Amino acid sequence: MRPPQDERHPQDIEMRKILSQYWASYSKWYKYQPLQHVRAYFGEKIGVYFVWLGKLHINVVQNIP
């Protein structure tokens, strides 16, 4: 059996590699989130979710005594 072919455009695959290298890693949790790239790759709803998640994270970290 062969794995399914990736039917994405080469531009989307490149953006996925960029996001994977610079953002989607446990060692990069404290760095800037490339929200415009996330929004372009995943869509508007997921982009808004990550903005909200980033704001929530900042608020929780600031309130730790």
Highest mean pLDDT among 24-28, 43-47, 54-58: 43-47
Mean pLDDT of 34-49: 86
Mean pLDDT of 37-65: 85
* Coil, helix or strand at residue 10: helix
Which pTM does this prediction carry? 0.56
Confidence of residue 3 (pLDDT cuts 50, 70, 90): very low
pLDDT above 80 for 52? yes
State the angle between helix axes of 44-62 and 35-42 in degrees (0 to 180), rounded to the nearest 10: 140
**Per-residue tokens: 45:** 């709803």
